[in-house]
Structure 1
Amino acid sequence: MITTLPTAASVAEAAAAVAPHVRRTPVLRAEIDGRPLVLKLEHLQRGGSFKLRGAVNALTAGPRPTHVVTASGGNHGIAVATAAASLRLPATVYVPVTAPEAKTRRIEAAGARLVRHGATYGEAAVAALAEAQAPGARYVSAYDDPAVVAGQGTVTAEAVADAPEIDAVVVAAGGGGLSAGAALASGGRTVVVVEPEGCCCVHRALEAGRPVDAPVDSVAASALGATRVGEVPFALLSSADVVSVLVTDAELLAAQDRLWEEFRLAVEPAAAVPLAAWLAGRVPGERACLVLCGANT
């Protein structure tokens, strides 16, 4: 049961907490097909994705743990391993056996103990939660944690500060942490939540009025493959005026290619999801900021 939700003030506090450990990633003002847009280059973040922000904020909030445990499809595990190393804490990361080698290799390189368990993220998470019952352990959720959501909100806070002219913030959604953080930090700007048609737990939840299970079948599934939106993100997103958009795998792969062809930006499929929606004309506003969230596959 949710007891406390993060706020815009939580994001400001998180910005101070994460600043020593993360990069302030740049924004790129650009134009495609004669239309202006702003790209937030978060794929340049330490660990290769925005996830480091939430992990650091979670581990610096409250008492210092003796051990860190998490479950991940890849990017969150890299982030937790990187954050734990930065804070000099031991970490264990559970991943499903389907996790991409490119991501599991980085988890181990960051110094964490890697455990491959189960065919799905959910099965890996059950095992991780069992280990996290040990005294002094801290389980860091990939998205269903107020401190994690506040940390992810610092991406949008930076974008708004560095490009105040933007009128929309466009983010890819997995379990909802990045999009909920964007809703907190957008300063009243439109937040567009984009998902592949085959991985759309936020869209399904907003339609149903509650978190529900959704299929996981997309080329972006290693990053966006949550089967159900988190309770904390859903509480925030359902009370905010967000726009939910779906894209096809063909559209997001074409957008990934376009980022390379136009700007020589190499991102993973999940990071191209916002551009796919923008290219398809599904993003409102005159000057949107697209968050390129990761580059780990």
Structure 2
Amino acid sequence: AYAAMKLGHKATIFVPEVSPPAKLARIRSYGADLVVGGARYAEALAASEDFAARTGALQIHAFNQEETLLGQGTLGLEIEADLPEIDTLLVAVGGGGLIGGIAAWFAGRIRIVAIEPEGAPTLYRALEAGEPVDAPAEGIAADSLAPKRVGEMMFPIAEAFVERSILVSDDDIIAAQKALWDRVRIIAEPGGAAAFAAMLSGRYVPAEGERVAVLVCGSNTNPGNF
């Protein structure tokens, strides 16, 4: 929505019913048309595909598209420029576009560890199965980390360059959100706090001397929750 506004284009954004009001308000503030397309991300995606087929609109997939992966991968470039000394990066996963782009950038030069909610273990299930498979789409982070499965495009990258996937609970995520706010005044949505939840809960324990960075992404939540 923001990019379309800056470029002078009209955008139609499809979101699931679980999207938080703060996210919907921000999308509308950028002048986009907003369509609530089903209970979960998969239904919103199907509605957007139908809309694109009927209208000829350019469809931009949230994660399973080369351009999206390339764009999200630029975060890897920024992280390496700012923190060239890190050994490990923890990244939250939903559809996998973010971790796919970042893992492609680092290409094995550091450890990349995926962090996922227990209620939406898309990459975890895919790595077990050896291919993307359907996974549950439940829990507190379902508004941002709960498609049915990871993207076909990112999966070979994950197999090659993601060390493993760690699952965190809803309680872990809530505690991480509160800690980020209380300690450093960062407002993080549940999906954005998931990677930090792995550190805070002890589900990821760094080795002695290991230099770990945690990617906190997404602030589409109500600050009143904290």
TM-score of the two chains, using structure 2 as the length reference: 0.90
Q: Superposition RMSD on alpha carbons, in Å?
A: 1.6
Find the aligned partners of 2:140 and 2:128 in 1 and give their Cα distance.
Answer: 23
Q: Deviations over 1:199-241 (max 9, x none)?
A: 1111100111011111111111101011110101112112224
Q: Which residue of 1 aligns with 2:42?
A: 122
Q: Which amino acid aligns with 1:176?
A: G
User: Which AA in structure 2 matches 1:292?
Assistant: V
What SS does the corresponding residue of 1:169 show, helix, strand or coil? strand
Share of identical aligned residues, percent?
A: 44
Mapped pair 1:277 → 2:198: yes
* Distance (Å, rounded) in 2 between the aligned partners of 1:290 and 1:85: 30
Q: Secondary structure, in 3 states, of the residue corresponding to 2:132?
A: coil
The residue that corresponds to 2:176 in the other structure is 255
Once the two structures are superposed, the pairs formed by residues 30-45 of structure 1 within 5 Å of their partners are none
| Structure 2 Cα separation of the partners of residues 243 and 261 of structure 1 | 30
Amino acid at match of 1:288: V
SS at match of 1:97: coil
Segment drifting more, 193-202 vs 121-130: 121-130
Counterpart contact for 1:156–1:169, Cα < 8 Å: no
Q: 1:192, 1:283 within 8 Å by CA — same for their partners in 2?
A: no
Deviation at 1:128, TM superposition (A): 1.1
Deviations 1:74-126 (A, max 9, x none): xxxxxxx1111111111111222332222111111111111122222222221
What 5-or-longer segments of structure 2 have no aligned partner? 222-226
Could you tell me the TM-score, scaled by structure 1's length? 0.70
- Report the alpha carbon displacement of residue 136 of structure 1 after superposing the two structures with TM: 5.2
> Aligned equivalents of 1:237 and 1:121: distance in 2?
21
Between the two proteins, the alignment pairs up a number of residues equal to 217
Read off the aligned partner of 2:220 and give its amino acid letter: N
SS for the counterpart of 1:223 is coil
- Does the 8 A contact of 1:169 with 1:182 survive in 2? no
Paired position in structure 1 for 2:212: 288
Distance 2:45 2:145 in 1: 15
Query: In 2, distance between residues paired with 1:284 and 1:232?
Result: 30
The answer to whether the 8 Å contact 1:183/1:242 transfers is no
Query: Post-superposition, which runs of at least 4 consecutive aligned residues in structure 1 deviate over 6 A?
Result: none
**Structure 1 SS opposite 2:219:** coil
User: Is this contact kept in 1: 2:75–2:102, CA < 8 A?
Assistant: yes
Aligned 8 A contact 1:169 1:186 in 2: no
Pick from 89, 92, 106 the counterpart of residue 12 of structure 2: 92
Secondary structure at 1:242's aligned position in 2? strand
Kept in 1, the 8 Å contact 2:40–2:147? The answer is no
Partner of 1:197: 118
1:238 alignment partner AA: E
Contact 1:171 1:179 in 2 (8 A): yes
Report the secondary structure of 1:243's partner residue: strand
For residue 281 of structure 1, report the CA deviation from its aligned partner.
Answer: 4.8
- Aligned: 1:175 with 2:95: yes
Deviations, residues 131-176 of structure 1 (Å, cap 9, x unaligned): 2125652100010001101111111210111110111111100100
